[in-house]
Amino acid sequence: MGGRNIRNHWLDPAKTVLKQVKEMDPILFSFRVKFYPPDPFRLKEEITRYQVYLQLKRDLLHGRLYCTHNEASLLGAYIIQSELGDYDPEEHTEGYISEHKLLLKQTPKIEEKIAEIHQMQLKGQTPSAMETAFLKKAYTLDTYGVDPHPVKDHRGNQLYLGINHCGILTFQGSRKTHHFRWNEVQKINYEGKMFIIHLTFNEVSGIIFTHN
């Protein structure tokens, strides 16, 4: 949900909705996934798997799910096959991929690759199979489930920090710079704007990031 300042907040299920939105106008409610499971394709409920798929599809569109051009083309082709079905030259005329906004940086070259995969590799695949394939690919990416927050390291370098089921990660652009697995994290402290990570193998001091 958001207001005039484009503020986004998660609703606390333990509190009344009215108290959490009374100072916001206008209000927009959206259904989102907050905690991403480690193996989304293994979720038992089909509707739950589908909701995670929709969230990841949105993450891909908004640039939160970083991936290479080849990975983006494959994920885009899975979406197209799921939504359009098998390629039909009479129905899917030249440039048909451009009618669908799939990626934050969607170029003609990537659209050509998506069309090639859709036409040559995915014939006969059902929407359910494509959504499962999308989940299996997406969860292997470094930014799966990561909500990036701008921070600076102790040298003043601008980074993005995020947390998922694998641990704490930092990125510089689309390049992963740190990955602290949960079994390596001893303690986390907040001191003002400082976010301090104490690691089990680091006997000196914690690794400090400053929130922008």
Same domain for 94 and 169, yes or no, is no
**Which run of H or E residues covers position 186?**
strand 185-191
Tokens at 59, concatenated:
């993450």
Same domain for 113 and 171, yes or no, is no
Domain boundary among 89, 108, 138: 138
Cα–Cα distances in angstroms (integers) from residue 183 to residues 75, 164, 194, in the given order: 31, 13, 22
Same domain for 94 and 63, yes or no, is yes
Question: Phi and psi of 135, rounded to 5°?
Answer: -60, -45
Give dist(CA 121, CA 98) in Å, integer: 19
- From the number of C-beta atoms within 10 Å of its C-beta (0-12, 13-18, 19+), residue 190 rates as exposed
Residue-level pLDDT at 5: 46
pLDDT digits (tens, 9 = 90+) for 5-37: 456 778 888 889 888 888 777 888 888 888 899
Same domain for 167 and 106, yes or no, is no
The SS3 of residue 21 is: helix
Rounded to 10 deg, the angle between the 46-61 and 69-84 helix axes is: 130
Same domain for 48 and 131, yes or no, is yes
Give dist(CA 146, CA 164) in Å, integer: 6
Quickly count: other Cβ atoms within 10 Å of residue 197's Cβ: 21
Domain span at residue 2 reads 1-30
Same domain for 82 and 44, yes or no, is yes
Q: Position of tokens 């494509």?
A: 130
Give dist(CA 125, CA 107) in Å, integer: 25
The number of domains in the chain is 3
pLDDT digits (tens, 9 = 90+) for 54-96: 999 999 999 999 899 999 999 999 999 999 999 999 999 999 9
Residue 35 belongs to some domain of the structure: no
Q: What is the mean pLDDT of the chain?
A: 89
Q: Which amino acid would we find at residue 17? A: V
Which pLDDT band holds residue 2 (cuts at 50, 70, 90)? very low
Same domain for 54 and 85, yes or no, is yes
Same domain for 86 and 160, yes or no, is no
CATH number at residue 186: 2.30.29.30
Give dist(CA 5, CA 211) in Å, integer: 19
For 65-100, letters b (16+ CB in 10 Å) and e give bbbeeebbbbbbbbbbbbebbebeeeebeeebbeee
Domain boundary among 138, 173, 195: 138
Question: Phi and psi of 168, rounded to 5°?
Answer: -110, 130
Nearest to 150 by CA among 71, 81, 190, 210: 210
Same domain for 134 and 159, yes or no, is no
Same domain for 127 and 48, yes or no, is yes
pTM: 0.83
Tokens at 210, concatenated:
């400053």
